[in-house]
Structure 1
């Protein structure tokens, strides 16, 4: 979040009575800034309340503790990622385009505002069972969405289709994060095309599609 946006968020919080859903969204936005910048352990509820421009009692009215706040935010980002992958599978019947869209889903996610991907892929709270389960679900649900399509369209059994899906998800996730770490030295469009073409040559060339 930019400094101007942070100031606007704080100003919106002071002396303004917002609907509960709007206040919750405001608190989550402030919390994301703090969690991404500091990690879970170094983040303080005082700082999150200050960033949101509210008192701590207001923050605790919505979230009883730091873990509950973190989990609410994490679940939102997990659902976002999985939703992107499902949309990639459902948006077309063209299998080459599906592969392209699946890769793009991960690049778009890591390139999103606020570096939300760090909470999913780089959480410093993996020892917490609820966090570990949510992070694992981000991958497993993405794999499930792709597995269903590969099973139907490539005529593979569930186990083989799932291995292919794991490969596509793993390749997409790792290359997207590396692309971001290298300061986007290749345009996102070119990076997605490069990785999706690599994946398609393996999936499209190695397995006859029943529904091309």
Structure 2
């Protein structure tokens, strides 16, 4: 072997032994024997076991960091980026198991705080930027994005460490369920989640606001848009630079003729799922609620179908859930949540 080839061989052999036995458990004698060389050859290339270990760790650190950076660097929305990062980590674990075992085990002398912790800190800074922008778009405090970035990265990292040994279900299924929890939350979990970014027929994602309009008697207002068959809540797509709450207030005026201030809207959260009337289309929806005040006979304070709305329907929530012609958002998220809290 040339010197370069021998060095690469020693790193590869050492990676396997360090993964199996750790820094303290693997000796220079073990590494030399496994590589078929004498101890002086190992010392000639690296000087010490600690220096060899540091080089192995740095190589794996840079490999995983490059994988995660590439996943975060894609031109995609935040949900797809979360998908890509979760899948990329699990893919690295599957294909570079020894490297991951080393990263999560012993810290080299050059990084006493821990290599994996250092890596996660860098990833978190990327995720924080993504979440802060998303929080701002939804009318929430951008400052808390850093806290949620820590939660999200920690959840993915801990799941990866569990999957290192479990290896079941497969990585795509685990990643899909990770995104299901992190994106939809416990109240919006989908039964059979899947990774959208891995589909060959990439779906269209519509970013919109939806408003659950209620009256004093507890009924909810359903609307059906012209040329469609499903009933849903009033709402529509965000205009460029528009926040979720601003879009909700605008759509209330355009679709129902109601003048509603953003401050009058109650934030219900968000939801990601299939669209009601379009094939291979998903919606990323900011959800709000609005309780209609008494009109006292003033028709201007009563909702009226306008713009693309063809039909209005007031219904009891339990009766609405029994209908077949309601949107997935109503059936899978809003109505079950309402009835569970009733």
TM-score tier after normalising by the smaller chain length: 0.7 to 0.9
Q: Which runs of 4+ in 1 moved over 3 A?
A: 156-159, 206-209
* Larger proportion of strand: 2
1:25 match: 8
1:135 match: 116
Segment drifting more, 79-88 vs 157-166: 157-166
* Larger proportion of helix: 1
Aligned counterpart in structure 1 of residue 27 of structure 2, from 44, 57, 80: 44
2:129 match: 148
| Number of aligned residue pairs | 188
Quote the RMSD (CA, aligned, Å): 2.6
TM-fit CA distance, 1:190: 0.9
Label 1:25 to 1:157 Cα distance change in 2 as closer, same or farther (>3 A).
farther
Aligned counterpart in structure 2 of residue 186 of structure 1, from 169, 174, 179: 169
TM-score normalised over the length of structure 2? 0.50
TM-score normalised over the length of structure 1? 0.77
1:35 match: 18
Label 1:88 to 1:130 Cα distance change in 2 as closer, same or farther (>3 A).
same
CA distance in 2, matches of 1:68, 1:140: 24
TM-fit CA distance, 1:198: 1.4
1:171 match: 155
Specify the SS of the correspondent of 1:130: coil
Specify the SS of the correspondent of 1:197: helix
- 2:68·2:88 contact (CA, 8 Å) conserved in 1? yes
1:62 match: 45
Label 1:154 to 1:208 Cα distance change in 2 as closer, same or farther (>3 A).
farther
Q: Which has the higher contact order (CA 8 A, sep 6+)?
A: 1
Specify the SS of the correspondent of 1:54: coil
Larger radius of gyration: 2
Specify the SS of the correspondent of 2:270: helix
Label 1:96 to 1:113 Cα distance change in 2 as closer, same or farther (>3 A).
same
**Structure 2 stretches lacking a partner, 5+ long:** 186-268, 272-283, 287-342
- 1:78·1:137 contact (CA, 8 Å) conserved in 2? no
- 1:107·1:172 contact (CA, 8 Å) conserved in 2? no
**Structure 1 stretches lacking a partner, 5+ long:** 1-15
- 1:89·1:149 contact (CA, 8 Å) conserved in 2? no
